[in-house]
Structure 1
């Protein structure tokens, strides 16, 4: 391995990371994806990248130097700090020229009907979101030039609530719920790859399709495409009896995310700005590397 290290290191090389790895390999990068399982390692190697199996909850041996780091691993499961992030950064031998962290829009908390851009202060309501805020602050302190992408609900092939919709499970009615946001997984990978090769003018971006909708629209559209009845709609009283505490915590938050900054700063062209087209492609099992 050259003294300068590898081109691209992806920590937490799951569904999004594998798509990003394929893009990096496609332009000639030597790529290493850090994963937890043998199955994930096989997926990483299938796109031409190297893999390293590592338990980020244990002791982390020294990681290779790299010119580009994309951190896509979720935080630790407990507490309000991300100890995984702390261990990974301590094991890094250098601060790369390009650093990208894929975070979550959950750090904004409940914003009601407000339109949310990157100037909005964070207001995490759950321990899960507080861990993300801690992770963002850690990586920004370690690499002030790090670009943080705040992603909402990620959908794509194999990432749709098909079984629930076919089973006729209810969804929270729009009268009781708020706004939802999403990004197709290929667009998220494309956005991450775009900023991983640039030094954009900002270090914080909403990585979304920029088309927030009410919850019913998404589920009703999926039902239509599956040719099954639209899911029944329920109020909060019934939702509290049916849904888990974690699901209720997601339902309790509303945001209308704007993606104007990332589009303007990077020139990225969304492959799926319309979630209906994204759902159709996802049901067909299509992946795309366009848009980068």
Structure 2
């Protein structure tokens, strides 16, 4: 095969390494790219995804930054030994990510928070505000007004954690159809979403015990709302350079949650995209460019 001169002269795409490390008694799977001495961006995924959601973003940023994306316990390919006796709460997920950061000896880093990654990453910010250089919130909520109508069944589960309400959540969200809906909702052309995204997530949900773990986390999500005032106080006190970049058609975390960041943080900018919940699936180039602009602002 002959390689054209334009292809031969193209800038090579940085490779993404697949690694594991022991942290907090957990075998954490993570993806990493970029130079070891470059500014660090920690990518924190949401439900029901994993570091796989950052497969398109990481090569776009790795020429300038060290990008690291771990899988949370029992998400993706992170494994938890049964003898660890892991209790699945958002506090526990944050503690594991904290141990992961320590294992990699990351002293200063920016965080990209999406969905579940928001309460995990913001807990980390509360514990170590001096480590956080910037915050990218992509549909990562920290305000009551950011919770859309899609939360009604989960709020009912919080109020009445009965077996019936628990099963209703499982039947609605812990299925291939429920997972695919999260990826495609709010997108005018759903065929733009790569099918391996929701197919992989749905397949991993079918592993023994995983659905019960997810239902435990749905119940525990109420603890995140109780921490919203603390997260907001962090924004007011530390004012980290911040980008709230949001798929504006997301019914789970609605645009009001993005706009609210400016109320507490004068260093927050808001950008709304013509996208849904998983905005990286359709707008990865726009998000990558916005991150570069934020990181440049954070290092001035």
What band does the TM-score fall into relative to the shorter chain?
Answer: 0.3 to 0.5
TM-score, normalised via structure 2 length: 0.34
| Structure with the largest fraction of helix | 2
TM-score, normalised via structure 1 length: 0.35
